């Protein structure tokens, strides 16, 4: 079988790897259909890591995957071969203090796919065959394409950020950064009852997606640099701000327009930056980080299955595994790409609106 492995910066290889061995009783063998390229995959491929995290040994990339069950371990209940699933890449231990508190995203022994944070690294999911724990499998509705199902992971990140904000019903909300996470987050905000959603980015492609995902107003700060000015009046107009770009400028913009005691959730990982502490203090801004997700994955799959969130606008291109290196180059070009996905095996490279013949 073939696996997409990153050896170092600018060294991404499609390699033949040995097929998985015998299944443990609670495991599934899955034939992977689609894998979405995430910002962290891009960082590994372009720079060999991000911040202090570096690739120190060859690592398969990928954590946004869907597929079809190929075989079942002896004790797996309630699933069958041939079923289509979204695969949660979140693999907490279940027994550490944070897992026992229900904070699985803070698990001390987390084995999140495709992460060079621990060493040995946790291998990723961009492989034709994957052995998963049955608990990672979430059934996909017959009418939902497996490429859309592979959006469950980035949607989960957005849904967790909304949870961190602590309720957006009836609120005026700003989202800075409308790549796949920001745009899917907007779909979640609409579902969560936000009254008015303003989306900011530097790319018209991203803003068009944000509007299709439910933003009421979009602002391109490259071409409309003063468009946020009216929102500064009376100390700021937004009850909640979601910063999904990882940019210091965007974070500072958010602080200028957030209302006193507003909640500012940072989803983007932008490294170290300097912040206007006086503004945080004087406006009593609630600054909250948001990292990955856990229970939100099931919610994300349910929203996609029921058509409550339509993720199709986020997917800009699907390329076969044989073109994976080109797919990464395309994904890194924000002028023409939002979510780029890799199709494994014989999965179609056009976005299907009805059930695929998987
Ligand atoms: Zn744990």
The DSSP letter of residue 109 is: T
Indicate if 201 and 325 belong to the same structural domain. no
Indicate if 243 and 332 belong to the same structural domain. no
> Cα(90) to centroid of ligand 1, in Å?
11
Closest among 225, 213, 217 to 154, alpha carbons compared: 213
List, as one string, the DSSP characters of 239-306. Answer: EEEEE-S--HHHHHHHHHHEEEEEEEEE-S--------HHHHHHTT-EEEE----STHHHHHHHHHHT
> Cα(105) to centroid of ligand 1, in Å?
8
> Cα(147) to centroid of ligand 1, in Å?
30
> Cα(98) to centroid of ligand 1, in Å?
6
Cα–Cα distance measured from residue 150 to residue 165, given in angstroms and rounded to the nearest whole number: 25
Beta strands 27-36 and 258-266 are unpaired
Name the stretches of the chain with pLDDT < 70: 352-358
The pLDDT of residue 51: 82
> Cα(95) to centroid of ligand 1, in Å?
5
Query: Residue 198 is part of a domain; what is its CATH number?
Result: 3.40.50.720
> Cα(94) to centroid of ligand 1, in Å?
5
> Cα(93) to centroid of ligand 1, in Å?
4
Cα–Cα distance measured from residue 56 to residue 192, given in angstroms and rounded to the nearest whole number: 41
Beta strands 217-220 and 238-243 are unpaired
| pTM of model > 0.85 | yes
Indicate if 321 and 280 belong to the same structural domain. no
The pLDDT of residue 358: 37
The pLDDT of residue 191: 96
The pLDDT of residue 313: 97
Indicate if 171 and 107 belong to the same structural domain. no
Indicate if 143 and 6 belong to the same structural domain. yes
Query: Residue 316 is part of a domain; what is its CATH number?
Result: 3.90.180.10
Say whether 8 sits in a helix, a strand or coil: strand
CA distances from 130 to 29, 68, 80, 235 (A): 6, 10, 16, 52
- Is the preceding omega at residue 120 within 30 degrees of 0, hence cis? yes
The pLDDT of residue 170: 98
The pLDDT of residue 352: 66
Domain that holds residue 172: 159-289
């Amino acid at each position: 079988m073939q696996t997409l492995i990153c050896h170092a910066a600018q060294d991404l290889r499609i390699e033949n790897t040995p097929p998985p061995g015998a299944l443990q009783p609670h495991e599934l063998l899955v034939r992977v259909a689609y894998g979405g390229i995430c910002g962290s995959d891009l960082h590994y491929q372009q720079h060999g890591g991000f911040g202090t995290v570096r690739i120190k040994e060859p690592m398969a990339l990928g954590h946004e995957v869907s597929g079809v069950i190929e075989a079942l371990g002896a004790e797996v209940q309630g699933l069958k071969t041939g079923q289509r699933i979204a695969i949660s890449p979140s693999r907490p231990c279940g027994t550490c203090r944070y897992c026992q508190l229900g904070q699985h995203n803070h698990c001390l022994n987390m084995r999140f796919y495709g992460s060079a944070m621990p060493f040995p690294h946790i291998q990723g999911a961009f492989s034709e065959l994957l052995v998963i724990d049955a608990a990672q499998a979430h059934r996909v509705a017959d009418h939902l394409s497996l490429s859309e199902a592979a959006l469950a992971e980035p949607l989960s990140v957005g849904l967790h950020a909304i949870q961190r904000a602590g309720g957006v019903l009836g609120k005026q909300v700003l989202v800075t950064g409308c790549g796949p996470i920001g745009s899917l987050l907007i779909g979640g905000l609409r579902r969560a009852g936000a009254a008015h959603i303003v989306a900011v980015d530097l790319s018209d492609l991203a803003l068009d997606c944000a509007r299709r995902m439910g933003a009421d107003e979009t602002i391109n700060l490259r071409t409309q640099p003063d468009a946020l000015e009216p929102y500064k009046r009376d100390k700021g107009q937004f009850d909640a701000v979601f910063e999904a770009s990882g940019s210091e400028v965007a974070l500072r913009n958010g602080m200028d327009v957030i209302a006193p005691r507003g909640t500012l959730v940072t989803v983007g990982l932008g490294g170290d930056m300097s912040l206007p502490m006086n503004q945080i203090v004087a406006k009593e801004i609630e600054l909250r980080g948001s990292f990955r997700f856990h229970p939100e994955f099931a919610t994300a799959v349910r929203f996609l299955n029921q058509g409550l969130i339509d993720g199709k606008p986020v997917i800009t291109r699907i390329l076969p595994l044989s073109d994976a290196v080109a797919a990464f180059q395309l994904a890194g070009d924000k002028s023409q790409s939002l979510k780029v996905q890799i199709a494994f095996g014989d999965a179609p490279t056009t976005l299907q609106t009805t059930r695929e013949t998987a």
